[in-house]
């Protein structure tokens, strides 16, 4: 098994979707809200101006699949309830880690099932309905007064669960060459052969992968009424330094260097952190960030060429001091990482040029600190994540920041209603907006009133 660090465990926990659709209390909301959407199918009114800073709630595809896959009325009801809490935007995941999609596409297969984490084990949730999933969120979100942003899991194309495999790389064997290759203790291993449960990552340096994703983004941008597009998992496989060893990457790395490397720039197997890499390793870490930067530039251009008014952005983890492991430099290109970041003293001058914030219309920082770490100035506090995020972004792009309220330390079992208003105020004070992951946890732990109280209180005093 591949060694993983604490961040990987947090993200893996988030991927397991700790919502429980078999719990009867999860359906209590239906009694009060199911009959509300009597305007389904009516004309969408003009959206009101945002009152104060924007407030975004993420709606993960797999975690919320039991509620929405076959129930457009549930989508309409929850859109109204989200607006009632005071959120201004929803971010709807329409491409789960399987790589299948929940919108009309000519290039990607429709998502007909997701592996959801139910009662401590995986369970297939199947979609048999034919209504337009994204289109319903757009129309019903707008009717509720919400802006609707679509998110896709980007550099992934399949999911391996204990109950089986699902996704485009399994459906088309010739796409095995699209997959990432990782340097594991057992040697170079294609992502499809990784025995661990989780997403099957694609190779960001593969031209076919990029072409496919750009075509997909063009289709998504053409959706009538869509307000924004957010890329998630637009990064390298996992949070280790052992990802990216494909033939396509070696060819691109050779071109980047201007000569073929004498050997693979292999990091220590399973290495989570780096303090003094050699020259080849420095170039490799910089090259990976350049690959993501250049793809992001193409993606932004594609979206804006199809729909100039659709905002384009990305979700990233706010723990930048460790984010080189993912092959992503989400800072502004004006931010001197070598000078300002102790964890980047090794970074060559070219690393600064890979900063991608300047390419975006908005960005979302996962300030995934524990429930006991709301305040502070450093990483691993929510406030610190936001303050450091503002410094690192240099005003290049508006950003929203906020917690994972279901998987972070202290959040796993709920009962955190009392701190939610403080979280809302802290994020709104230190960022350009509030970002919360995920709606399923609001439902599971019945945080509706806590967020409504927190948002209303903040708006009344600011």
User: What pLDDT, on the 0 to 100 scale, is given for residue 262?
Assistant: 83
User: What pLDDT, on the 0 to 100 scale, is given for residue 25?
Assistant: 41
Residue 266 maps to a domain: yes
User: What pLDDT, on the 0 to 100 scale, is given for residue 42?
Assistant: 64
User: What pLDDT, on the 0 to 100 scale, is given for residue 20?
Assistant: 52
Residue 422 maps to a domain: yes
Residue 231 maps to a domain: yes
**In sequence order, what are the beta bridge partners of 202?**
179
E strand residue ranges, 403-442: 434-436
Alpha carbons 286 and 422: distance in angstroms, whole number: 38
Residue 255 maps to a domain: yes
Residue whose tokens read 């594991």: 184
Alpha carbons 445 and 400: distance in angstroms, whole number: 23
User: What pLDDT, on the 0 to 100 scale, is given for residue 18?
Assistant: 45
Residue 274 Cα distances to 183, 285, 317, 346, 385, angstroms: 16, 10, 18, 9, 21
Residue whose tokens read 């506090």: 381
Residue 1 maps to a domain: no
Residue whose tokens read 């078999």: 22
Alpha carbons 263 and 22: distance in angstroms, whole number: 52
Q: Which of 4, 193, 198 is nearest to 117 (CA)?
A: 198
Residue whose tokens read 């079992």: 413
Residue 57 maps to a domain: yes
Its domain, for residue 333, covers 6-461
Residue 259 maps to a domain: yes
Q: Is the peptide bond before 373 cis (omega within 30 degrees of 0)?
A: no
User: How far does CA 224 lie from the centroid of its chain?
Assistant: 23
**CATH value at residue 235:** 3.20.20.80
Per-residue model confidence as pLDDT tens for the chain (462 residues)? 333 333 333 343 344 444 554 443 444 444 444 555 566 656 666 787 888 999 999 999 999 999 999 999 999 999 999 999 999 999 999 999 999 999 999 999 999 999 887 788 889 999 999 999 999 999 999 999 999 999 999 999 999 988 999 999 999 989 999 999 988 777 889 999 988 889 999 999 999 999 999 999 999 999 999 999 999 999 998 666 778 899 999 999 999 999 999 888 866 555 556 778 889 989 999 999 999 999 999 999 999 999 999 999 999 999 999 999 999 999 999 999 999 999 999 999 999 999 999 999 999 999 999 999 999 999 999 999 999 999 999 999 999 999 999 998 999 999 999 999 999 999 999 999 999 999 999 999 999 999 999 999 999 999
Helix (H, G, I), strand (E, B) or coil at 114: strand
Which residues are within 8 A (CB) of 116 and not within 5 positions of it... i.e. 6 or more apart?
A: 17, 19, 21, 62, 63, 65, 66, 122, 123, 124, 125
SS3 readout for 216-285: HHHHHHCCCCCCEEEEECCCCCCCCCCECCCHHHHHHHHHHHCCCCCCCCCCCCCCCCCCCCCHHHHHHH
What is the domain count for the chain?
1
Residue 293 Cα distances to 14, 324, 333, 351, 430, angstroms: 25, 13, 10, 11, 26
**pTM: predicted TM-score of the whole model, two decimal places:** 0.93
Length of the chain: 462
Alpha carbons 190 and 174: distance in angstroms, whole number: 13
Concatenated DSSP letters for 303-372?
HHHH-TTSEEEEEEES-GGGGGGGT---S-TTS-HHHH-GGGTT--HHHHTT--GGG-SEEEEE----TT
122 close to 91: Cβ distance less than 8 angstroms: no
């Amino acid at each position: 098994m591949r060694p993983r660090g604490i961040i990987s465990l947090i993200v893996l926990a988030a991927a397991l979707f700790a919502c429980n659709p078999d719990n009867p209390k999860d359906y209590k909301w239906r009694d009060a809200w199911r009959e509300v959407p009597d305007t389904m199918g009516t004309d969408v009114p003009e959206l009101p101006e945002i009152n104060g800073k924007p407030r975004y709630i993420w709606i993960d595809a797999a975690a919320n699949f039991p509620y929405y896959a076959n129930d457009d009325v549930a989508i309409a009801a929850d859109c109204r309830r989200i607006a009632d809490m005071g959120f201004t935007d929803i971010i709807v995941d329409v491409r789960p880690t399987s790589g299948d999609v929940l919108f009309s596409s000519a290039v990607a297969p429709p998502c007909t099932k997701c592996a959801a984490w139910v009662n401590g084990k995986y369970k297939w949730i199947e979609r048999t309905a034919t209504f337009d999933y994204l289109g319903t969120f757009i129309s019903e979100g707008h009717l509720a007064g919400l802006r609707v942003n679509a998110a896709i899991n980007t550099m992934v194309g399949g999911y391996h669960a204990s109950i089986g495999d699902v996704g485009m790389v399994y459906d088309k064997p010739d796409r095995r060459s699209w997959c990432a290759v990782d340097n594991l203790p057992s040697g170079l291993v294609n992502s499809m052969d990784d025995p661990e449960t989780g997403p099957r990552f694609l190779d960001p340096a593969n031209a076919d992968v990029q072409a496919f994703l750009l075509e997909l983004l063009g289709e998504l941008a053409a959706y009538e009424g869509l307000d924004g597009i957010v890329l998630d998992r637009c990064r390298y496989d996992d949070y280790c330094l052992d990802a990216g060893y494909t033939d396509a990457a070696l060819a691109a790395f050779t071109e980047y260097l201007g000569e073929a490397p004498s050997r693979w720039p292999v990091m220590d197997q399973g290495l989570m952190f780096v303090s003094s890499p050699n020259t080849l390793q420095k170039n490799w870490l910089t090259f990976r960030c350049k690959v993501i930067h250049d793809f992001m530039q193409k993606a932004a251009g594609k979206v804006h060429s199809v729909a100039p008014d659709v905002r384009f952005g990305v979700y990233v983890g706010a723990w930048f001091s460790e984010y080189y492991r993912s092959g992503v430099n989400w800072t502004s290109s004006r931010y001197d990482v070598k000078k300002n970041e102790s964890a980047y003293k090794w970074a060559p001058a070219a690393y600064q040029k890979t900063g991608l914030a300047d390419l975006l219309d908005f960005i979302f920082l996962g300030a995934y600190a524990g429930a006991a770490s709301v305040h502070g100035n450093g990483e691993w506090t929510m406030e610190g994540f936001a303050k450091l995020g503002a410094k690192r972004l240099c005003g290049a792009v508006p950003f929203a920041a906020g917690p994972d309220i279901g998987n972070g330390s202290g959040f796993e079992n709920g009962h955190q209603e009392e701190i939610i208003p403080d979280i809302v105020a802290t994020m709104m004070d230190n960022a350009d907006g509030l970002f919360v992951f995920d709606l399923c946890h609001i439902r599971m732990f019945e945080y509706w009133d806590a967020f409504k109280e927190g948002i209303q209180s903040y708006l009344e005093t600011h």
